[in-house]
């Protein structure tokens, strides 16, 4: 079976896992009770605030009537109550905001842990880059999860709040507004709770307007996250490759590239500003045009003596409260579009991580025996073209092989396949089960930190004794660095290319692997130092199996066997 990367952009959006798969795991995790408690606190505060607003509505009606009738004791009484309830309705939302922030942080922490785990598990981070499945995975974890949890909690608590308020204010307004009698021919028709119908009709029109003008914002917001992340990524690349760029005198070119990426950020922001302005402008116009509506609608009741002036105040206030509550949907349209865009980016990431995990490997990796065996191995490029074929190759324990071949013939790819990092191809690779294997590329990763932790990577710095560190540095011609063992630095920038290769070789001597793959791991060294390093390897690890990819002829005499890879066209 051939493993082929599929192109998600060529299919519809169906490849994305459901949005529920982003949300559900946290709410069924061990965090669920604490999260539910926080939600309960938030909702209780919100409902209490709603009832405080209703009480204020009644008090304002009473106050208006008391003012009209100059009833001083009632005026004083209602004012004191209004002040007390007003204070509660102002302070409670502050506690609600705190609880929302805390819940968001807990969810973000949980989701970040999960996505970091998925991303770093196996070699998913490598597969995502190798097959170009998604861009900026790291930034999706850092930025999109943060915004997604925040917007989801804000929107969902607001929606629950709004729904409760809608029911409450609808009942209130229905009770206050009474029926509208319209003379029709010889009789009259009566519309009970007519103001409620008016609010709903108005709000529906408002929402339709918001959807019509705002749906374009979904794509623009998704693009915003992408172009911002691309811009940041290029900046990071310049920082990481500062020296190489400086040698090439590439500053101006990088400046152009950065500015051209920023132009995409700027253009997208301008587009977003235009569309948001258009949305807000028409929404405001709509609200403004219909602002006298509640007074006009309640006027017949006042004129026919069905309500007092205080009743009119109460009705218009209740109408306003219901209207403001329903206005949440059109006003939050922008947040909805942002939420969909963020969810889509995270769903894409989940899709890519699942795909990396479930990808069928064309090359079967098996464990057993004491030799490394490749049987009927065909290495393919990701596009399915044949890179190289290898009939049967067996490396017995303790043997030393050098792999040769023209540039691009697939030497590194063969090593990737042996490491289980290259699924494209056919055949079987069998590796001894219990032995420790180490792969050394041309440029090894050196984490920021002490020299000890750089040498011990991927194990911790306490894995080896000071004596072992010193001996490894001496063996690898790095005696002058012994004094820096506990010094913390950015060693990848500080050490020369050759020093980095010597450090990587010292790492091999410390870890004492049984099988060592060296992919042009000494290419930056002068032949003499290279020879000394290989000799140290042979002296210190005489029973280790060594497979070296190397172009230099001088290295041949450190090995007993040669494997020559032929590109497919040479067969
Ligand atoms: N992730 C990838 N996506 C697409 N093609 C790839 C990928 N990785 C490697 N290749 C292709 O596979 C081919 C073999 O690459 P490989 O690095 O194995 O060659 P090599 O023999 O080690 O070359 P060199 O001696 O120059 O290091 C190259 O044509 C390369 O472009």
Model confidence at 153, in pLDDT bands (50, 70, 90)?
A: very high
The answer to whether the CB of 518 is under 6 A from ligand 1 is: no
Give the residue whose CA is nearest to atom 5 of ligand 1. Answer: 381
DSSP codes of every residue in 251-308: HHHHHHHHHHHHHHHHHHHHHHHHHHHHHHHHHHHHHHHTTTHHHHHHHHHHHTTSS-
pLDDT of 492 over the 90 cut? no
Residue 499 has what pLDDT? 94
Summarize the confidence of residues 123-146 as an average pLDDT. Answer: 89
Q: Could you give the 3-state DSSP secondary structure of residue 419?
A: coil
Distant-in-sequence, close-in-space partners of 299: CB < 8 Å, separation ≥ 6: none
User: Is the predicted pLDDT of residue 570 greater than 60, yes or no?
Assistant: no
Q: Does residue 552 line the site of ligand 1, with CB under 6 A?
A: no
Whether the per-residue pLDDT at 305 is higher than 80: the answer is no
Please give the distance, rounded to the nearest whole angstrom, from the Cα atom of residue 429 to the centre of ligand 1. Answer: 19
202 vs 20, which has greater pLDDT? 20
Model confidence at 99, in pLDDT bands (50, 70, 90)? very high
Residue 283 Cβ inside 6 Å of ligand 1? The answer reads: no
pLDDT-derived band of residue 177, with 50, 70 and 90 as boundaries? confident
* Mean pLDDT in residue range 33-45: 91
pLDDT per position as a tens digit, 406-462: 888 889 999 999 988 898 999 999 999 878 899 999 888 888 899 999 999 989 899
What is the pTM for the complete model shown?
0.73
pLDDT exceeds cutoff 70 at 2: no
Q: Is the pLDDT of residue 298 over 90?
A: no
**Of 4, 382, 412, which is best to mutate to test ligand 1, by the most ligand atoms within 8 angstroms of its C-beta?**
412
pLDDT band per the 50, 70, 90 thresholds, residue 301: confident
Q: What is the pLDDT of residues 242-268, one digit of tens each?
A: 877 887 888 898 999 999 999 999 999
**How far is 546 from 215, CA to CA, in rounded Å?**
60
ipTM: 0.94
Is there an atom of ligand 1 within 6 Å of 567 CB? no
pLDDT at 568: 66
Ligand 1: residue of 131, 408, 550, 551 to mutate (most ligand atoms within 8 A of CB) is 408
The residues that bridge with 367 in the sheet, in sequence order, are 431
Ligand 1, atom nearest to 383 Cα: 4
Specify the pLDDT at position 181: 75
| Residue 13 reports pLDDT greater than 90 | no
Q: What pLDDT score was predicted for residue 538?
A: 94
Q: pLDDT confidence of 71, banded at 50, 70, 90?
A: confident
Answer yes or no: is the C-beta of 292 below 6 A from any ligand 1 atom: no
Atom of ligand 1 at shortest range from CA of 414: 18
Q: Are 238 and 257 in contact (CB under 8 A)?
A: no
pLDDT of residue 5: 38
Distance 408 CA to ligand 1 centre (A): 5
Residue 7 has pLDDT above 50, yes or no: no
pLDDT beyond 70 at 400? yes
């Amino acid at each position: 079976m051939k493993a082929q990367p599929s192109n998600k952009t060529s299919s519809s959006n169906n490849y994305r896992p459901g949005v529920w798969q982003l949300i559900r795991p946290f709410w069924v995790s061990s965090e669920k009770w604490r999260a539910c408690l926080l939600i309960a606190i938030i909702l209780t505060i919100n409902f209490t605030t709603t009832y405080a607003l209703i009480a204020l509505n009644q008090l304002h009606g009473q106050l208006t009537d008391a003012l009209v009738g100059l009833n001083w004791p009632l005026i004083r009484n209602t004012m004191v109550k209004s002040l007390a309830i007003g204070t509660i309705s102002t302070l409670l939302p502050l506690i609600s905001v705190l609880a929302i922030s805390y819940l968001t942080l807990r969810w973000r922490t949980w989701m970040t842990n999960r996505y970091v785990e998925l991303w770093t598990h196996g070699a998913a981070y490598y597969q995502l880059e190798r097959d170009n499945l998604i861009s900026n995975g790291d930034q999706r974890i850092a930025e999109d999860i943060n915004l997604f949890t925040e917007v989801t909690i804000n929107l969902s608590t607001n929606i629950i709040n709004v729904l409760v308020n809608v029911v409450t204010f609808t009942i209130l307004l229905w009770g206050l507004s009474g029926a509208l009698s319209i003379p029709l021919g010889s009789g009259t028709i009566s519309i009970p709770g007519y103001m409620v119908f008016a609010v709903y009709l108005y709000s529906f029109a408002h929402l339709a307007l918001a959807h019509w003008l705002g749906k374009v914002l979904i794509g623009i917001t998704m693009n915003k996250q992408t172009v911002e992340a691309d811009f940041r990524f290029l900046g990071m690349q310049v920082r990481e490759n500062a020296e190489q760029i400086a040698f090439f005198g590439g500053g101006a070119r990088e400046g152009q590239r950065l500015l051209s990426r920023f132009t995409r950020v700027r253009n997208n922001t301008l587009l977003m500003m235009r569309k948001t302005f258009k949305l807000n402008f028409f929404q405001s116009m709509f609200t403004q045009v219909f602002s006298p509506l509640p007074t006009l609608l309640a006027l017949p009741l006042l004129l026919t003596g069905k309500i007092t002036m205080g009743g009119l105040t109460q009705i218009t206030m209740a109408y306003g409260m219901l209207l403001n509550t329903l206005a949440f949907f059109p006003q939050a349209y922008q947040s909805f579009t942002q939420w969909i865009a963020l969810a889509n980016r995270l769903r894409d990431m989940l899709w890519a991580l699942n795909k990396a995990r479930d990808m069928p490997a064309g090359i079967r990796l098996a464990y057993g025996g004491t030799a490394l065996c490749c049987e009927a191995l065909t290495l393919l490029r990701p596009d399915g073209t044949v890179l190289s074929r290898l009939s049967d190759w067996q490396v017995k324990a303790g043997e030393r092989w050098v792999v040769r071949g023209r540039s691009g013939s697939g030497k590194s790819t063969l090593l990737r396949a042996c490491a289980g990092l290259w699924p494209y191809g056919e055949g079987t690779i069998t590796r001894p089960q219990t032995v420790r294997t180490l792969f050394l590329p041309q440029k090894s990763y050196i984490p920021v930190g002490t020299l000890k932790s750089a040498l011990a990577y991927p194990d911790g710095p306490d894995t080896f004794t000071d004596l072992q560190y010193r001996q490894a540095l001496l063996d690898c011609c790095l005696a002058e660095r012994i004094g820096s063992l506990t010094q913390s630095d950015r060693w990848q920038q500080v050490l020369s290319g050759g020093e980095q290769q010597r450090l990587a070789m010292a790492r091999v001597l410390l870890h004492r692997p049984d099988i060592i793959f060296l992919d042009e791991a000494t290419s930056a060294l002068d032949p003499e130092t290279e020879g000394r390093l290989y000799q140290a390897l042979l002296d210190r690890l005489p029973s280790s199996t060594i497979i070296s990819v190397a172009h230099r002829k001088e290295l041949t005499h450190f090995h007993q066997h040669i494997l020559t890879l032929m590109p497919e066209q040479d067969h």
